[in-house]
Amino acid sequence: MQHSFSDPLSRAYDKTRVARQFSKAAVSYSQHDYLQRLCGEQLLQRLPEHSEVLVDLGCGPASMTSALQSQCGYYLGLDIAAGMLQQAQSQCNAAFAGADMDLLPLQADSVDTVFSNLTLQWSNDLHATLSGVLKTLKPGGSMVFSTILAGSMTPLTRIFAEVDSHPHSNTFLSADVIRNVLTKLPEASWDLTELPLRVSYSSLRDMLRDLKGIGANYTARDPQGLFTRRRFALWEAATEKYREADGKLYLYWHIGLISLRKGVD
């Protein structure tokens, strides 16, 4: 969300609600995380060859844990959602702990690498969050992360706008805003790559089920009364003109892949 670096009217995420929403999705997550896996594979290619201590920030149900363990001496998975941590502990033999990315419980200069896949878009202050991560990194340490950029979730956002004036999705930072955030980080080098992706669906219902299945149907606005049978029928009708030549519906995403390196004293 753009709080410090853009729209001053955008609302902060209620982290208690965020944790509750993702906890609900923990068991079903692996059935709907196609986008997360695509982005995670891209991030793995950006990791250092080996890290002594690696932190997986927003580890979810341990989707990337095994792959990350093979590239480090010690792995720690952090997540704000208790349900995700319970699922992770049932899947992998690794260390996991509850934490809010905006309030990291890590000592300064204690981590070699931070990995974070599609988590940073839930930060209420990206600059403060990244500054906190940098403090935990050892000199020369690095962070690789992916985040959702402005322009994502089309044509779903258009469909919602055609039917009513209520916001049904969150507002994501643009690549330019994130570059501005990165340039304000002291003594850090970085690289940002923009990656367009799309996921196919047979129906609007399947599309929304996927978003709910990964917990991404949370919004910073009060959703009460917005999802009704009548409104869903209107959304379905509005969706049909977005079917492409192959008969499928596509949800388009704009992803930022960022590598961040702490300077050496």
For the chain, the structural domain boundaries read 15-151+172-198+255-262
Tell me the residue type at 249: L
d(CA 198, CA 152): 10
- Mean pLDDT across the stretch 39-64? 96
**DSSP letters spanning 90-133:** HH-SSEEEE--GGG----TT-EEEEEEES-GGG-S-HHHHHHHH
Beta bridge partners of 96: 77
**Single pTM value for the model:** 0.89
Q: CA 133, 71, 66, 64 torsion: positive or negative? A: positive
Taking only the tens place, the pLDDT of each residue in 114-151 is: 999 999 999 999 999 999 999 999 999 999 999 999 99
Inter-CA distances, 264 with 99, 114, 142, 143, 210, Å = 27, 17, 11, 14, 42
Per the CB < 8 A criterion, the answer to whether 19 and 189 are in contact is no
What is the average pLDDT value for the chain, to the nearest integer? 88
Per the CB < 8 A criterion, the answer to whether 213 and 29 are in contact is yes
Share of the chain above pLDDT 90, in %: 67
Placement of tokens 């388009």 in the chain: 252
Using pLDDT thresholds of 50, 70 and 90, give the confidence band for residue 169: low
Of 141-150, 218-227, 228-237, which range is least confident?
Answer: 218-227
Q: If one looks up domain 15-151+172-198+255-262 in CATH, what number appears?
A: 3.40.50.150
Per the CB < 8 A criterion, the answer to whether 114 and 53 are in contact is no
Using pLDDT thresholds of 50, 70 and 90, give the confidence band for residue 216: low
